[in-house]
Amino acid sequence: MTNEINAQTVGRLREDLKFQATLCEHPFQFQTTWGLFSPRAIDEGTELLLDYMDIKPDANCIDLGCGYGPLGMTMAAMAPGGITHMIDKDFVAVDYAARNAALNALTNVEVYLSNGFSHVPDGARFDTVVSNLPAKAGKELYYLYFYDALARMNVGATFYVVTINGLRGFIKRVFGEVFGNYDKLKQGKQYTVAVATKTSETELSFVKPQR
């Protein structure tokens, strides 16, 4: 596509973008659209995170802010004995994540709209939580994500994140506050992958907002 866009060529922008990628040895097809994050290829942060995730075959997983689905779909393929939830607050992202899961014949997934954990079914508990954290979401939102995840995680469950390097100090501090532990798995040129583990049962409970 050239830099020149006019009324005759703008229709092409409404067509789905399509590409293939192999993630953790699993080949996938993706359909995306303009307006979603990294619509033409898997982004560098996601690829780095995938290199360091340890997913058990029967793990129940959740992809927090799934976009069009690369992290959640990979977890579903790696954990065929579990259920992977793919959630996002953007209805377009959820639509494409559901399409991509179906396109790749992944049946052990649940894809739905949720602002953080607000619409995750009551009683759902997870062994792995994963998020490619948006850089400009605000620290308040991160605290909500982490404390709500803690309330939904099984003992021994892990929370993997990838962030821009500028947030690594914040993530280290807050993981220490919320989970009591932090492990930096990899720091690349632009992104850092970190993990925290839920080491014991807590008295925290998830409370859905009043409407």
- pLDDT for residue 207 is more than 60: no
CB-based contacts of 137, cutoff 8 Å, min separation 6: none
Give the domains, in start order, of the chain with CATH numbers.
18-197 (3.40.50.150)
Sign (positive or negative) of CA dihedral 124, 192, 135, 48: negative
Strand partners of residue 7? none
pLDDT of residue 1: 43
- Residues 3-60 have pLDDT tens digits of 577 766 776 767 778 999 999 999 999 999 988 998 889 999 999 999 999 999 999 9
Q: pLDDT band at residue 169, thresholds of 50, 70 and 90?
A: very high
CA distances (Å), 166 to each of 2, 147, 173, 195, in order? 34, 22, 13, 17
pLDDT in tens, 108-159: 999 999 999 999 999 999 999 999 998 877 789 999 999 999 999 999 999 9
Q: How far apart are CA 140 and CA 129, in angstroms?
A: 19
Looking at residue 115, its pLDDT comes to 94
Q: How many CA atoms lie within 13 A of 185 on its CB side?
A: 20
DSSP 49-112: HHTT----TT--EEEET-TTSHHHHHHHHH-TTS-EEEEES-HHHHHHHHHHHHHTT--SEEEE
Question: What average pLDDT does this structure show over 85-106?
Answer: 97
* Whole-Å CA distances, 211 to 58, 137, 142: 35, 23, 22
Q: What pTM did the predictor assign?
A: 0.90
pLDDT of residue 203: 54
